[in-house]
Structure 1
Amino acid sequence: MTDFSAIRSSYVQAAYAKASDAKPAAEPKPSGADFSSMVADAAQKAVETVRTGDSMAIAGLQGQAGLQQVVEATMAMESTVQISVALRDKLVEAYQDVMRMPI
């Protein structure tokens, strides 16, 4: 039978040693992300989805991926492109509305 108290005390000692060696954090990051980082993250994920769809299509043509995998990746890629285009159109429309406002 295992002695759980010995295991627990070893874990607590290791955690304490790790915590005492850790450097203090410089400054906590705000809990909410700013808009520019949110847009950058969304754009990065969209690019990654499109690249995954492209690579899966190539793998399907080479016979290294199944038809269902290729179709799923292609549908995800198509959906991402459609959402990106719709978002771009809305941003351009909003920009044009702002530019038309009288000062």
Structure 2
Amino acid sequence: MTEPLISSTAALGAYRTGQSVKAAEVSRGGGDFAALVRDASSTAFSEARAAESVVQAGVTGDQSTQAAVEAMLELESTVKVAVSIRDKLVEAYQEIMRMPV
């Protein structure tokens, strides 16, 4: 059986991340690209820390197994999004460096 392209938990995590980035941009009244990337990365780091603490609590028995698995899935989706954004930024930088001046 094939693996689904994206799980519902991963989609929900990506949606929440997108909403928080959009809300931050609207509250600032727009903004520069560097601030948007900085806010998105800090959000990703805070979500990763929260997921890690839930997983650790799940290992010790303070959280349910389901909560630990959901936290791992959210962490996985956050990491995938961060890596894909990083790859696109590196690709854009390389494309700019290849441009003739």
Asked if Structure 1 and Structure 2 have the same fold, meaning a TM-score greater than 0.5 normalized by the shorter chain, the answer is: yes
**Rg (Cα) greater in structure:** 1
Paired residues, what number? 75
67, 70, 79: which one pairs with 1:69? 67
RMSD: 1.5
Distance 1:52 1:38 in 2: 21
The aligned residue for residue 54 of structure 1 is: 52
Unaligned runs of 5+ in 2: 1-26
Over 3 Å counting, the alpha-carbon distance change for 1:45 and 1:30 in structure 2 is closer
Over 3 Å counting, the alpha-carbon distance change for 1:52 and 1:40 in structure 2 is same
Query: What amino acid does structure 2 have at the position aligned with 1:90?
Result: K
The percent identity for this pair of structures is 45
RCO comparison, higher one (Cα < 8 Å, 6+): 2
CA displacement 1:29-87 (0-9 Å, x = unmatched):
96223222211111011001111111111100100000111111111100000010011
Greater fraction of residues in helix: 2
TM-score, with structure 2 as normaliser = 0.69
Over 3 Å counting, the alpha-carbon distance change for 1:31 and 1:98 in structure 2 is same
Unaligned runs of 5+ in 1: 1-28
